[in-house]
């Protein structure tokens, strides 16, 4: 391996037409790594912040300062560092920024650089990124189980429905490719049903159908209809997963469903969710309670954690220390991993390691503001995270990632996580004859 010889920043654009940061790392031997920072619309309060320029130009969203940091102080600090020393590079980035929220240099600058270093190290070694990660972390590379949005809501569809993501997973598939094929049938069946009923308002931020449902439950009913129309059975090979994103409509333990005209405390809201789980083949629920409602999160986990995957996103923001606190409180049993929430590859891997220590599941996730960058597919595969969430089965910034998974599977046949991540849920127990 060799040292980092140069580092450049560039302003590029994300899937919402907003500026974002690209970083390019060049090693002393001429290997190159390139990565782009994504951006979220639904954001946890404690996640790393993007550095934006403010002002009137480009609605204050420009990233000239963050790009300047990549080619300025970050370049100065990292030049000469060993490109294979991801942990050392990431520690240097965190120390150079010096803030808890990465606000001085910008979380967007840090994550682009960290991912680009990972790419450059793989290029230097002459191997795919997933293989490089597996070697560094001692993991058995495995294609993840896809979690794919069919209907978008919440902050991704102007809050047309309160729940943010209505998704499917195909743990009964025999391969990553088969999981995508079955999901494609469900996605297009859902679109056909909605067209017939005049329920389509467009395409949401992450490529799912932008719905015009009259209630949140109508979305669940329609999703199960689409699964059946695709020739599958809800709860058979195909199951439903939800990203509630409850921080978006909950505060101080009170949850207000604007579409349904209902306001409930956490216990009553948990009863609603439990019924949805029972009635609509739901096997995974992300952020069922708000990020400020650890007690509600823990109570819901106590009630339903033996049946479904309960995923912390806003509650945990990919930080190992927050996961440790949640595990101690019994709040959740799985973590969503978004590298840009915390700022570096090493911190993302640390959160995954913490999840494994506690027997939790993990899902590597994209953001609603995405690009053609496919690094998260390599992270999910090389670290054997088990699950991957990148949005819907449409829009090129989403399909770039699903297609990358297909390319990896061609090199790594027979290594699909499939049902493994859901083994402890009602679906997994039923499949194994234990329920």
Helix segments in 19-157, DSSP class H: 64-69, 75-78, 86-97, 107-125, 129-137
DSSP category for residue 50: P
User: Which is nearest to 88 in space by CA: 124, 136, 134, 128?
Assistant: 136
What are the Cα distances from residue 286, in Å, to 108, 118, 152, 195, 244? Answer: 24, 28, 14, 28, 6
The answer to whether residues 301 and 331 touch, using CB atoms and an 8 Å cutoff, is yes
401 belongs to the catalytic site: no
Task: Give the active site residue among 22, 338, 389, 409.
Answer: 338
What lies within 8 Å, CB to CB, of 414 at 6+ separation is none
Hunting for tokens 């067209």 — which residue is that? 195
Active site residue 206: yes
Output the six-digit token pair for 192. Answer: 């056909």
Taking a C-beta distance cutoff of 8 angstroms, is the pair 350, 320 a contact?
yes
Tell me how far apart the alpha carbons of residues 197 and 186 are, in angstroms, rounded to a whole number: 17
**Catalytic hit among 47, 124, 147, 206:** 206
Q: How far, in Å, are 165, 277, 379 from residue 234 at the CA level?
A: 17, 12, 30
Count Cβ atoms within 10 A of the Cβ of residue 59 and give its class: 0-12 exposed, 13-18 middle, 19 or more buried: exposed
What is the rounded distance in angstroms from the CA atom of residue 99 to the CA atom of residue 89?
Answer: 16
Q: Which residues are catalytic?
A: 206, 338
């Amino acid at each position: 391996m060799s040292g980092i010889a140069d580092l450049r920043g560039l302003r590029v654009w994300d899937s919402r037409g907003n500026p974002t940061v690209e970083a390019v790392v060049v090693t002393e031997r001429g290997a190159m790594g390139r990565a782009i920072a994504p951006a979220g619309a639904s954001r946890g309060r404690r996640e790393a912040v993007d550095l934006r320029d403010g002002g009137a130009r480009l609605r204050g969203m420009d990233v000239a300062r963050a790009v300047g940091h990549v080619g300025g102080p970050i370049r100065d600090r990292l030049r000469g560092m060993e490109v294979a020393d991801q942990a050392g590079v990431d520690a240097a980035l965190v120390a150079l920024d010096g803030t808890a929220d990465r606000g001085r240099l910008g979380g967007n600058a840090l994550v682009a650089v960290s991912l680009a270093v990972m790419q450059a190290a793989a290029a230097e070694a002459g191997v795919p990124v997933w293989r490089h990660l597996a070697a560094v972390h001692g993991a058995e590379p495995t294609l993840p189980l896809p979690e794919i949005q069919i209907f978008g809501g919440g902050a991704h569809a102007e809050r047309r429905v309160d729940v943010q993501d209505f998704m499917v997973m195909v743990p009964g598939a025999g391969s990553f490719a088969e999981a995508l094929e079955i999901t494609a049938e469900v996605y297009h069946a859902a679109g056909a049903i909605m067209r017939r009923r005049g329920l389509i308002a467009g395409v949401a931020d992450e490529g799912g159908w932008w719905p015009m449902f009259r209630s949140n439950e109508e979305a669940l009913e329609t999703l199960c209809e689409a699964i059946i129309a695709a020739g599958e059975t809800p709860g058979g090979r195909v199951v439903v997963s939800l990203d509630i994103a409850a921080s978006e409509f909950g505060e101080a333990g009170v949850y207000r469903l604007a579409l349904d005209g209902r306001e409930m405390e956490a216990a009553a809201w948990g009863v609603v969710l439990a019924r949805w789980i029972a009635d609509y083949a739901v096997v995974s629920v992300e952020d069922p309670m708000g990020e400020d409602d650890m007690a509600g999160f823990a109570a819901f986990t106590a009630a339903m954690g033996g049946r479904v995957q309960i995923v912390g996103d806003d509650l945990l923001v990919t930080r190992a220390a927050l996961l440790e606190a949640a595990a101690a409180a019994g709040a959740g049993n799985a973590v969503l991993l978004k590298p840009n929430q915390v700022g570096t590859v090493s911190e993302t891997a640390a959160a995954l390691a913490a999840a494994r220590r506690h027997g939790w599941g993990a899902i590597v996730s994209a953001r609603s503001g995405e690009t053609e960058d496919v690094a998260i597919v390599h992270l999910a595969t090389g670290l054997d995270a088990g699950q991957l969430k990148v949005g819907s089965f449409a829009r090129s910034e989403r399909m770039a990632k699903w297609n990358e998974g297909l390319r990896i599977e061609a090199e790594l046949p027979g290594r699909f996580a499939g049902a493994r991540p859901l083994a402890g849920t009602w679906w997994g127990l039923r499949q194994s004859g234990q329920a």
